[in-house]
Amino acid sequence: MAKQTIRDVAWSGRRAIVRVDFNVPLDGGQITDDTRIRAALPTIAALREAGAAVVLMSHLGRPKGKRDPQYTLAPCAARLGELLGVAVPLQPDCVGPTVEAAARALGPGDVILLENLRFHPEEEANDADFARQLAALGDTYVNDAFGTAHRAHASTEGIAQHLPAVAGLLMERELDALGRALGEPERPFVTILGGAKVSDKIGVIENLLGKVDALIIGGGMANTFLAAQGGPIGKSLNEPDKAALARELLARARERRVTLALPSDVMIAPEMNAEAPRRAVGVADVPDGEAIFDIGPETVEQYKTLIKGARTIVWNGPMGVFEIAPFALGTRAIAEAVADSGAFTIVGGGDSVAAIEDAGLADRISHVSTGGGASLEFLEGRELPGVAALNEK
């Protein structure tokens, strides 16, 4: 990796101010999934072992620049303390004299967590003075929050203008994995894209058409491609204004001899609920009164064949309406195929990661990405502000 990491810093006696991603799901103030907190543990442990005092900062939810008790990071401080086996005091704010005094009082191995960055509108505005106040809390800045690296916020980009800035271990793993896939992939290189809309992934498709050997399309975005070719899609989700773009992408794939795989059969139902009668039909046989909610069994087998022959796989986005069990079968089948492939595999995006984890397959994936939007922008070939701000090797 071309960026400096925490391994390039002599930490003894220094304060590390670390951007982590503790934007965890909550239910009644209780954390329902602590994956993001656990993902930060290797960096925190390495800094403590190296003699650093650790100041952690994160956002949680969307409090819209105002203090909102439902978005306090108190549950995260408590859970992190349990995982580390030490007290992790939550500070009353993320800037100001009280917080600065607490940061200065830290000894080697001590850890504190700042209150939600987004209680201040200056965070998302990347306000220069707010960034300077954050920088005053540490000697060296560490970004270990890949999931927010595509945002030019005060805690991801602005602070790096005032302190030496290096990557944490999670950030390093993300950049190494995605860089390997896009830079020097072992071939065949297959990308699987799903989700609701083509418009969400236009940049990814355009960038990858020059890099991949096969591009597998599923989810609602496949409907737009099918309709653009004149196929019936009933009352399925569709983006008619993207039909011309879909045809152009299909033409470009043919020109570059890239396999752009679309469903040959689909699972349909009159409405989107678990009790609705459902059936598999060919893509030419979707009736007007029904809608497509998943890929069909024939398509699953075709996609599995492409996946089985791959040596590098990147997957982002579900094949159907994953949150409704009867329409999650295509996504689960793809999850199993990716895990069984023996390829170098990267899975990103909430539903794709959930499918892998629900099936108990996460330990058979080379890299499970923590960054949804950041992963997509990386795959688009865009520079991520939070990465660009880090010191070069």
Q: 250 CB contacts (<8 Å, ≥6 apart)?
A: 225, 228, 229, 260
| Nearest one of 167, 124, 107 to 142, comparing CA atoms | 167
Which of the four pLDDT bands, split at 50, 70 and 90, describes residue 1? low
pLDDT band at 187 (very low <50, low <70, confident <90, very high): very high
pLDDT at residue number 373: 80
Tens of pLDDT, residues 330-345: 999 999 999 999 999 9
Least confident of 196-200, 221-225, 280-284: 196-200
Q: Which helix (H) or strand (E) holds 215?
A: strand 214-217
Contacts of 242 (CB under 8 A, 6+ apart): 198, 199, 202, 224, 228
What are the phi and psi torsion angles at 383 (to 5°)?
-75, 130
Asked if the model's pLDDT at residue 200 lies above 90, the reply is: no
Tokens of 52: 């650093």
Distance from C-alpha of 260 to C-alpha of 254, rounded to nearest angstrom: 8
Q: Which of 58, 37, 60, 47 is nearest to 16 (CA)?
A: 47
Average pLDDT over residues 120-145: 98
User: To 10 degrees, the CA torsion angle through 332, 333, 334, 338?
Assistant: 100
Q: In this predicted structure, what is the pLDDT of residue 52?
A: 98
Q: Are β-strands 279-282 and 265-269 bridged in parallel, bridged antiparallel, or unpaired?
A: antiparallel
Closest CA to 55 of 128, 142, 131, 121: 142
CA distances from 164 to 17, 111, 160, 337, 393 (A): 11, 20, 7, 43, 12
Q: Which of 67-81, 82-96, 151-165, 195-209 has the lowest mean pLDDT?
A: 195-209
Apex 256 CA angle, 331 and 306, nearest 5: 30
Is 62 labelled a binding residue? yes
CB 4 within 8 A of CB 391: yes
pLDDT recorded at residue 351: 81
What pLDDT does 349 receive? 79
379 pLDDT band (50/70/90 cuts)? confident
- Residue 291 β-bridge partners: 269
Reply yes or no on whether the pLDDT at 148 is more than 90.
yes
Give the model confidence (pLDDT) of 149-184 as tens digits. 999 999 999 999 999 999 999 999 999 999 999 888
Amino acid at 197: K
* Nearest alpha-carbon partner for 246 in 263, 260, 264: 260
CA distance 168 to 58: 14
Q: Name the average pLDDT for the chain.
A: 95
21 is in an annotated binding site: yes
Give the percent of the chain with pLDDT over 90: 86
DSSP 8-state assignment for residue 29: T
Residue 104 above 70 pLDDT? yes
**Residues 6+ positions from 377 with CB-CB distance below 8 Å:** 150, 203, 384
Asked if residue 323 belongs to a known ligand binding site, the reply is yes
All structural domains of the chain, each given as residue ranges with its CATH number in brackets, are 6-170 (3.40.50.1260), 177-379 (3.40.50.1260)
The one-letter code for the residue type at 296 is G
Mean pLDDT, range 210-238, rounded to an integer? 95
Gap between the Cα atoms of 251 and 240, Å rounded: 18
Q: Residue 375: which pLDDT band, with cuts at 50, 70 and 90?
A: confident
Section 96-109 average pLDDT: 98
Q: Is 36 annotated as a binding residue?
A: yes
Q: Report, as residue numbers or ranges, the catalytic residues.
A: 36, 197, 350, 373
DSSP-assigned letters across all residues of 277-321: --EEEEGGG--TT-EEEEE-HHHHHHHHHHHHT-SEEEEES-SS-
How confident is the model at residue 281, as a pLDDT? 97
pLDDT band at 359 (very low <50, low <70, confident <90, very high): confident
* Residue 349, phi-psi category: left (phi > 0), alpha (psi -120 to 50), beta (remainder): left
Q: Is 203 annotated as a binding residue?
A: no
Task: Please state, in angstroms and rounded to a whole number, the distance separating the CA atoms of residues 369 and 376.
Answer: 11
Show the tokens assigned to 161.
Answer: 């203008």
